[in-house]
């Protein structure tokens, strides 16, 4: 058991997009796998919580990268808990390539909910977490709250079986995919993702349908809002791109 630990990932064929770079969905998955493994090893992972009818839910996430890994890279992600509050805990990440060079950081905010009531649980009911706090921040600080936007519909969805995870709601990665799919292949040929931010506001569940709204606030800087007909605004996000070749 370790309060701060590094996990290694090999880049597999299913992780990369048509350009040979790790997709935003796959990279986000690696970050979340890192969080899950560390929580499991330290005694407060998902399966442990579920024995008490509780579960972890991701509230906010920000990823900032100098570059996204390619098919030729190996990758390591270091993680630690920086802060444990009453309702939310902050978990940080440092990303290195195979040469050990830091190529990015991530920061996340998590809550625990009761699976029966879907309400948050006080984190002081998990006293073991206090032993694993490392008072070290990243250049990102804590993930910020994002404001409402008005924009154009850039994608639509209807939730089906394969979208639902063990918590009974849409998996976080599906949100990432819905947002990523708001751009064409030609756009991705000319742009790389530099920063991704997301706020989860309400659960989306089986049968829900809705739209992803997109608004460009500056060249290469886009805001998103996911709304369902059943629950209203459920998610906000941002992607900051840079032009390929810069």
Query: Whole-angstrom Cα distance, residue 224 to residue 189?
Result: 21
Instruction: Specify whether 136 is located in the same domain as 154.
Output: no
The CA angle 140-100-244, to the nearest 5 degrees, is 65
Judged by DSSP in three states, 218 sits in strand
**Can you give the pLDDT at residue 246?**
62
**Can you give the pLDDT at residue 225?**
98
**Can you give the pLDDT at residue 59?**
95
DSSP code per residue over 37-84: HHHHHTT--HHHHHTTTEEEEEEEEEEEESS--BTT-EEEEEEEEEEE
Query: Whole-angstrom Cα distance, residue 118 to residue 240?
Result: 32
Instruction: Specify whether 154 is located in the same domain as 110.
Output: no
Instruction: Specify whether 209 is located in the same domain as 158.
Output: yes
CB atoms near residue 40 (< 10 Å): 13
Instruction: Specify whether 95 is located in the same domain as 20.
Output: yes
CB atoms near residue 241 (< 10 Å): 18
Cα→Cα distances 113→73, 106, 123, 215, 234, Å: 37, 23, 10, 32, 17
Instruction: Specify whether 224 is located in the same domain as 152.
Output: yes
Instruction: Specify whether 104 is located in the same domain as 159.
Output: no
Question: Which of 110, 143, 176 represents a domain boundary (last residue)?
Answer: 143
Q: Using an 8 Å Cβ cutoff, are 64 and 102 in contact?
A: no
Instruction: Specify whether 71 is located in the same domain as 175.
Output: no
**Can you give the pLDDT at residue 58?**
95
Instruction: Specify whether 112 is located in the same domain as 17.
Output: yes
- The parent domain of residue 109 ranges over 1-143
Q: Using an 8 Å Cβ cutoff, are 112 and 121 in contact?
A: yes
- CATH number for 244: 3.10.129.10
Instruction: Specify whether 38 is located in the same domain as 103.
Output: yes
Per the rule left: phi > 0, alpha: psi between -120 and 50, beta: everything else, 216 is beta
Query: Whole-angstrom Cα distance, residue 122 to residue 127?
Result: 10
The phi, psi pair for 122, rounded to 5°, reads: -65, 135
Question: Which of 143, 177, 203 represents a domain boundary (last residue)?
Answer: 143
pLDDT along the chain (246 residues), means of 10: 88 94 96 94 85 89 95 93 93 95 97 89 85 93 93 97 92 97 96 97 95 96 96 97 84
Q: How many domains does the chain have?
A: 2
**Can you give the pLDDT at residue 1?**
58
Using a 10 angstrom Cβ sphere, with 0-12 exposed, 13-18 middle and 19 or more buried, the burial of residue 142 is middle
Q: Using an 8 Å Cβ cutoff, are 179 and 239 in contact?
A: yes
């Amino acid at each position: 058991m370790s309060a701060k630990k590094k996990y290694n990932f090999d880049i597999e064929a299913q992780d990369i997009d048509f350009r040979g770079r790790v997709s935003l969905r796959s990279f986000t998955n690696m970050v979340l796998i890192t969080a899950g493994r560390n929580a499991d090893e330290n005694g407060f992972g998902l399966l442990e919580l579920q024995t008490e009818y509780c579960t972890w839910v991701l509230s906010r996430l920000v990823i900032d990268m100098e570059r996204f890994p390619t098919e030729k890279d190996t990758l390591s992600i270091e993680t630690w808990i920086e802060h444990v509050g009453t309702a939310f805990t902050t978990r940080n990440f440092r990303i290195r390539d195979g040469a050990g060079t830091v190529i990015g950081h991530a920061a996340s905010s998590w809550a625990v909910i009761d699976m029966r009531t879907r309400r948050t649980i006080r984190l002081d009911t998990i006293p073991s977490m206090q032993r694993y706090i490392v008072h070290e921040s990243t250049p990102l600080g804590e993930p910020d709250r994002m404001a409402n936007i008005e924009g154009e519909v850039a994608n639509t969805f209807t939730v089906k079986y394969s979208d639902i995870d063990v918590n009974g709601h849409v998996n976080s990665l599906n949100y990432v995919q819905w947002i990523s799919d708001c751009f064409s292949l030609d756009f991705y040929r000319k742009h790389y993702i530099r920063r991704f931010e997301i706020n989860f506001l309400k659960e989306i569940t089986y049968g829900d349908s809705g739209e992803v709204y997109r608004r460009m606030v500056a060249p290469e800087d886009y805001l998103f809002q996911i709304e369902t007909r059943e629950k209203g605004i459920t998610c906000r996000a941002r992607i900051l791109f840079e032009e390929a070749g810069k």
